[in-house]
Chain A
Amino acid sequence: MSLVGNTPSPLNTPSPLVPAAGSQQLLARQAAGRPWAKLASRLFSLLCLLCMWTCLAALFLLLWQIFSYGWARVSLDFLTKSPSQIYPEKGGIVSSLVGSIYLIGLTALFSVPIGVGSAVYLEEYAPASRWRTLVQLNIANLAGVPSIVYGILGLGLFVRTMGLNRSVMAGALTLTLVILPIVILSAQEALRAVPSTIRQASYALGATRWQTVWYQILPASLPGILTGVILALSRALGEAAPLVAIGAATYVRKAPKNLWADDFSALPLQIYNWTDQSQEAFHEAAAGAIVVLLTVLIGMNALAIMLRYRFAKRVQW
């Protein structure tokens, strides 16, 4: 931004949106007449390019450090053994891995029908009314609520009031609420992308609202909805804060058997626990767990990106 100061201002109009004709001419003349205006422009583009490379470098550096540090720890043993608080170099991640799988499975089970249902309601059923505006506004705001606040809600509602304790069920319900706004918003976008001609054709043939949604709109928007769902679930998979807030254990030896009662841990919680220790060996174990977590997450992301890309290519209404 400092370049602005260095460039003699050819434009003194306060609103560059609609420059007056006179100053436009001034702008043109000056731009053509300043050989170093081109240089400044070139420098600016390099500066922006540098910004982009810095961001990418941060990503690569981060991934490289983690993978080079943690890769050695990943093995079949690491995936199938229980964690150890005494011999971190020997322990595995099986209990939290299984916990995470349960957690995500249940979260998907709850969040997909409710999220897609809400989106269908808002896009296809609800007439423009104050009620719809309210619900929409509410969802937009929920999307910005920090996840730990959902954790406090889960603590009060699921753990205490519903008596689910620190079970997988309490965790899954909490995570469902965390990702629900994301699922709804992305599903709405996918539904909106279905051309209205399809709706009209279906209604004109005497289809009811639900028939139109079920036979035409949902199939047409499925790839888009799926993309959003995958991204939302990958968010849930990496989420630790709400689970900490409901009091989930950051370390358990055994995977939960009873989803309604047993204490459980999840991969991000195990990573948190190990990172919080000061010994090097714990950090290595954490890096190993992160490698596992990131591999799954990047895989999910890639799947979502591919789906969206193919969808964009295929659909030309």
Chain B
Amino acid sequence: MSTDVVISDDRASSRDPRMNETTPPLPTVKVSASTNQRETPSRSADEMAQQAKKVVAHNVDFYYGSHQALHAISLEVPEHCVTALIGPSGCGKSTFLRCLNRMNDMIEGTRVCGDILLDGEDIYRRGTDVVELRKRVGMVFQKSNPFPKSIYENIAYGPRVAGLRKRAVLDEIVETSLRQAALWDEVHHRLDDSALQLSGGQQQRLCIARALATDPDVLLMDEPASALDPKSTAAIEDLIFELKTTYTIVIVTHNMQQAARVSDQTAFFFEGHLIEVGATNALFTKPTQQKTEDYITGRFG
């Protein structure tokens, strides 16, 4: 068990910088103030070009049995940016998202061709440890799916399965994650209550906090606000804005306003093809493809 101690110390120290940033007096006030003002503006194409390529997909095909759901998708996701995947339902955007942490592996009869690189490493290479991959690529689902356990246990689950046992460290991670997800103030006095008692919006933020607790590099969000009321949606969007300073975010949304609000880069999917990708401002103002224009002007979908 000594190794566990080493890990936990290691992890704790690696988290220190972030913790110092958020734990001092009244950090949540700072967080909410900053989100309201939106200090971090959308990044321009030039800024994004300077960022390292966090995830690179090259010629990705995807099959459900004999049905091809993705056709030669090539997409680069710059670090610390929000990339939005938009398109009509069934266009393959969610499927592509789930390729990025290999959640599609769980569906029987699926097949992937092409390369997806995370920091230059092919995640579909033989011998890749999907468990390691998923620790680095967190995911938030369309429908909030808290475990039927306490709030605390929900957040602590990821670190625990990674081998973290020390209560004090877990306590810290739970607090930091909840603060990052702007949920701490609402739930800190009832961490032992069942997560299922939270409201829909709170549950979804809990799921985000849970994903952050494993300290991922990339956060995948599959229509995270589609089942929420406008107020909760706004909270989630603020959160995304806040989180991109630390994480690289890929978000699937069917809501074009949302994509325009939160993302730096937008990719438009249609019938399994990637039609167009570019800086969000550019794509929404001057789309180069007719299909994209039709879609964003509401002619279909």
Contacts and interface: CB of A to CB of B under 8 A. Distances in A.
Contacts of A204: 101, 103, 134, 138-139, 141, 211
A207 B108 contact: no
In this complex, the interface size class of chain B, counting residues with CB under 8 Å from chain A, is 20 to 34
B131 A197 contact: no
A217 to B, nearest CB: 10
A32 to B, nearest CB: 45
Contacts of A202: 147, 157, 161
A165 B101 CA distance: 56
Interface stretch (A172-180, A208-216, A241-249): A208-216
B135 interface: yes
Contacts of A200: 103, 106, 141, 145
A205 B161 contact: yes
19 contacts: A197-B143, A198-B145, A200-B141, A201-B146, A202-B147, A202-B161, A204-B101, A204-B138, A205-B135, A205-B211, A205-B214, A206-B134, A206-B161, A207-B131, A207-B158, A208-B131, A215-B157, A220-B148, A315-B148
A203 B145 contact: no
Contacts of B108: 127-128
Nearest to A127: B108
A207 B106 contact: no
A201 B161 contact: no
A315 B146 CA distance: 13
B19 to A, nearest CB: 20
Given A197-B145, A203-B106, A204-B103, 18 more contacts: A128-B108, A195-B145, A197-B141, A200-B106, A201-B145, A201-B146, A201-B147, A201-B207, A202-B147, A202-B161, A203-B103, A205-B134, A205-B211, A205-B214, A206-B161, A207-B158, A207-B161, A215-B157
A93 to B, nearest CB: 44
Interface residues of A, number: 21
A201 B141 contact: yes
Interface of B: 101, 103, 106, 108-109, 131-135, 138-139, 141, 143, 145-148, 157-158, 160-162, 207, 210-211, 214
Q: Is the interface of A mostly helix, strand, loop or mixed?
A: helix
A199 interface: yes
A43 to B, nearest CB: 49
Contacts of B103: 200, 203-204
A203 B210 CA distance: 12
